[in-house]
Amino acid sequence: MKRTITHLADGRELIYFDRADDADRGAPDTRDLPPRPPSSQLRYDPLLDEWVAVAGHRQGRTFLPPADQCPLCPSAPGRLTEIPAADYDVAVFENRFPSFSFVPGEYEQVGGLSEVRPGVGRCEVVCFTSRHDSSFSALSPAQVDLVLQAWADRTAELSALPGVEQVFCFENRGAEIGITLAHPHGQIYAYPYLTPRTRQMLGSAARYRDRTGGDLFADVLAAERAEGTRVVAAGEHWTAFVPAAARWPFEVHVYPNRRVPDLNALEPEERAEFGTLYTGVLRRLDGLFGVPMPYVAAWHQAPVREGRDLAYLHLELFSVRRAKEKLKYLAGSESAMGAFVNDVLPEEAARMLRDA
């Protein structure tokens, strides 16, 4: 893998990841761009003991442009984009409209029991391919391996930034999910705090270890492999299964068969098998109803400092589609109380995915 670091016209970093050692990434960004916005505000919610990022500058971000104006496609004469090169394998750059950044700003306290502090951190965009009309499910195993290497590289680099506590790699796909750009891409958030979901999972794992001496994630995986009903796909190095208490109509968790804390710890043979298994699961999702399935794909990996001995790398994949023309909306119970009600039996969802 060749890694090339350059910068965009407003100073944001751009990193190319190429399979060929002779890839030329010297094309400059000649656009006239406005100054970068200051970082967001972080506001503390004392009722839930959580931080909320307030980033007003994101209201102006690019929203579903036509294909010939896509900012993630390679640049061409008369059409300059976020990627100055005429072609690329995988490209990663700092988000122009970030939820977190290191650009200084002014932050005033709002009173009450809340607290305001700068939303320091970093947000990056990961372009999986230069092909606008492609998808992650259509990537070759070699291309998936390159994306995995890019994710691992960025996890290591972002984890070393001051104030970063957790690195989160994810993909939103489909208008139903709320994407703003249709080009195959994902994002990486370097949070300045531990996210609520991670805190909850690590707390569960700690209590389980204290009670049983076991590893919660490993025992969940072993139980699902032994029971088998909810397993969608399995290989030498990975297992994909629908969790017994799935919250979403179609939800699949993909675990490496050995415990590793993060993407950096994967071996080459594990990366190689992941591409084939995971893209197969994505194609099964698309095959369920004969329409592209909207989804969120979220990597759970160990935080930078806390709970690394408890964490177990895994991918959570879920869709809001519950039938061909029906979506699962997070209404009263889910949105107000955080109490999910699933319309699809997890065992039936697994059977449908195996048969797709």
What residues are annotated to the active site? 185
Structure tokens given for 309: 């001995």
Rounded CA-CA distance 36/24 in Å is 27
Q: Is 24 helix (H, G, I), strand (E, B) or coil?
A: coil
Cβ atoms of 221 and 205 closer than 8 Å: no
CB atoms within 10 A of CB 269: 10
Question: At residue 245, what is the residue type?
Answer: A
Structure tokens given for 284: 């099964």
CB proximity list for 242: less than 8 A, separation 6 or greater: 230, 232, 250, 251, 252, 253, 346, 347, 349, 350, 353
Cβ atoms of 39 and 105 closer than 8 Å: yes
Rounded CA-CA distance 267/258 in Å is 11
Run of H or E including 47: none
Rounded CA-CA distance 172/186 in Å is 7
Cβ atoms of 19 and 30 closer than 8 Å: no
Rounded CA-CA distance 307/205 in Å is 9
Rounded CA-CA distance 229/243 in Å is 10
Rounded CA-CA distance 198/139 in Å is 29
Q: Which letter does DSSP use for residue 74 in this model?
A: B
Q: Which letter does DSSP use for residue 103 in this model?
A: -
